């Protein structure tokens, strides 16, 4: 009886060690948003990282993400999507500087809100060979992690 209990406990603990799949439950909503609003078929790209950047919202979040994106080198595999308009002139200027450096799209009217994308904070979405590799909301505390991800995955 004791062996059975140990075996069950061992199996349960090992099941938690399985590699975690990226949470991409909003992939279809994002794909539909891109197709309808930007006329972009995300499956046409071999590898692309989309960084959805709100220009209004919590100040520390907007500011830290804009500053982080300034440090990322230009890459064809990174596309920034600016959502809304900046309420603060400093953010408008930082966004304008990013637009001269990176490939970008704009959603001034925040049409993304009409789609099931889980957009609220900045989103990092990595699509490679029609597969979602990452779909992460970036909180204030995760900006450095997002920076590392971008540095490791842009080409």
Residue 12 scores a pLDDT above 60: no
In a domain, 19, yes or no: no
Percent of the residues in the chain that have a pLDDT greater than 70, as a whole number: 85
What are 85-104's pLDDT values in tens digits?
998 999 999 999 999 999 99
In a domain, 8, yes or no: no
In a domain, 107, yes or no: yes
pLDDT of the residue at 46 = 82
* pTM of the complete model: 0.83
In a domain, 81, yes or no: yes
**Residues 35 and 63 sit within 8 Å (Cβ to Cβ):** no
**Residues 132 and 27 sit within 8 Å (Cβ to Cβ):** yes
Q: For the residues 56-63, what does the mean pLDDT come to?
A: 88
What phi, psi does 131 have (nearest 5°)? Answer: -120, 135
Identify the band that residue 23 occupies on the pLDDT scale cut at 50, 70 and 90: low
Spatial separation of the C-alpha atoms in residues 108 and 67, rounded to whole Å: 20
In a domain, 18, yes or no: no
What phi, psi does 81 have (nearest 5°)? Answer: -115, 110
In a domain, 131, yes or no: no
What is the C-alpha R_g of the chain? 19
Spatial separation of the C-alpha atoms in residues 152 and 125, rounded to whole Å: 14
Spatial separation of the C-alpha atoms in residues 66 and 95, rounded to whole Å: 7
Identify the band that residue 10 occupies on the pLDDT scale cut at 50, 70 and 90: very low
């Amino acid at each position: 009886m004791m062996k059975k209990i140990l075996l069950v406990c061992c199996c349960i603990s090992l099941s938690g060690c399985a590699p975690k799949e990226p949470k991409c439950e909003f992939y279809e909503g994002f794909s539909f948003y891109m197709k309808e609003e930007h006329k972009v078929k995300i499956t046409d790209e071999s590898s692309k990282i989309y960084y959805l950047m709100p220009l209004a919202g919590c100040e520390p979040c907007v500011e830290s993400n804009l500053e982080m994106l300034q440090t990322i080198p230009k890459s064809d595999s990174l596309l920034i999507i600016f959502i809304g308009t900046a309420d603060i002139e400093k953010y408008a200027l930082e966004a304008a500087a990013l637009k001269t450096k990176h490939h970008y799209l704009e959603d001034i009217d925040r049409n993304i809100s009409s789609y099931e994308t889980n957009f609220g904070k900045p989103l990092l979405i990595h699509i490679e060979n029609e597969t979602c590799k990452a779909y992460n909301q970036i909180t204030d505390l995760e900006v450095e992690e997002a920076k590392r991800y971008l540095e490791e995955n842009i080409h």
